[in-house]
Structure 1
Amino acid sequence: MAKENSFDVVSLVDMQEVDNAFQQAKKELSQRYDLKDSGSKIELDKQKHEMLVEAPSDFVANQVIDIVSSKLVKRGIDLGAVKWGEVQSISGGNVSRKGNIISGIDKDTLTKINKDLKALKLKIKTQIEGDKLRVTSASRDTLQDVIAHLKSEDFGQPLQFVNYR
């Protein structure tokens, strides 16, 4: 019997790196000449995986989001892992935007990935395990084809491939 090879499809975000990027963005926000006295602020809730940006206008809020995004990219966090909500008006004419950090793959996306892989008609077995998808095959080349296919598709969040054996 041939040895089975497998890997897991996951979507993980290193919250320590997000925190580091957040701290760098907060420091730049306090030092940048055009933003330092604007009344803008950012908050991070690590438990809820949420960021909150408050600013005096939509334009300034977008500038702050650009700063946060650039720091996340420098720290190796895929921007697809952050979903920014709509602009909300708050007191004093200020606006706020909430950003959710996606960690883990929800059931609907897992089912969509699973159906997409079944449509390839390759000799693979897939199994949903919590918030990850295990792909198994006798051929390593087949698994490489699956990884290449998943990288070319867009499922609305960044995917990583771990435990390749």
Structure 2
Amino acid sequence: MPSFDIVSKVDMQEVDNAVNQTVKEIGQRYDFKGSKCEVTLEKEAIKLLADDDFRLKAVVDILQSKCIKRGLSPKALQYGKAEPASGSMIRQLVTIQQGISKEKGKEIIAQIKETKLKVQGQIQDDQVRVTGKNIDDLQEIIRLLKSKDLSIDLQFINFRQ
């Protein structure tokens, strides 16, 4: 029976490369001369530290542009609240979303059931498996989910016949 998996995975090596490029650009840009802006990658999060709100927004813009250039979806980055840090600095935590949560999985399955196609979806850990008898129905599900805005980055893998 044909099937495929819906996953949300981020290549952490590409995230590391984007963070390194961001740090390099911050060091080279004139508007960051003399500032103490920092960007560090920690396991599943990126920690941003800046002098003020304006520079924090500039660092976020640089990070987003570097992620997009590296082929990472901006939907994979979840921005936390900017909060004051020591020495009149501002800190923001950007978490990297890996996997599909149970709530999002249920939302995806509800979207699939609304189509009335003869396919079934089931949640398996941090992914959703979709099975059906007709390959065209599975491809229709992929088209449907690509057109919907589910606020997470989705990949469709393991398409089997």
Percent of aligned positions that are identical: 42
Please state how far the C-alpha of 1:142 moved relative to its aligned partner: 0.6
User: Any idea what the Cα deviations from partners look like across 1:42-98, whole Å, max 9, x if unmatched?
Assistant: 1110x2x11111111111000011111111001000000001111101122111111
Match of 2:53 among 53, 58, 63: 58
| Aligned-partner Cα distance in 2 for 1:119–1:99 | 33
Please state how far the C-alpha of 1:122 moved relative to its aligned partner: 0.5
> Is residue 43 from structure 1 mapped to residue 40 from structure 2 by the alignment?
yes
Aligned equivalent of 1:143 = 138
| Aligned-partner Cα distance in 1 for 2:91–2:153 | 25
Secondary structure of 1:95's counterpart equals strand
Please state how far the C-alpha of 1:126 moved relative to its aligned partner: 1.4
Secondary structure of 2:145's counterpart equals helix
User: Any idea what the Cα deviations from partners look like across 1:90-120, whole Å, max 9, x if unmatched?
Assistant: 1221111110000101111101111111111
Match of 2:147 among 142, 147, 152: 152
Secondary structure of 2:4's counterpart equals strand
Aligned equivalent of 2:6 = 9
In structure 2, runs of 5+ residues without a counterpart are none
| Aligned-partner Cα distance in 1 for 2:37–2:47 | 11
Please state how far the C-alpha of 1:36 moved relative to its aligned partner: 3.2
User: Any idea what the Cα deviations from partners look like across 1:11-43, whole Å, max 9, x if unmatched?
Assistant: 000000000111111111111111132111111
Please state how far the C-alpha of 1:130 moved relative to its aligned partner: 0.8
Opposite residue 44 of structure 1, the aligned amino acid is L
Opposite residue 16 of structure 1, the aligned amino acid is Q
Match of 1:73 among 68, 71, 74: 68
| Aligned-partner Cα distance in 2 for 1:15–1:93 | 31
Aligned equivalent of 1:21 = 18
Aligned equivalent of 1:108 = 103
TM-score normalized by the length of structure 1: 0.94
Segments of 4+ moved more than 4 angstroms: none
| Aligned-partner Cα distance in 1 for 2:41–2:72 | 15
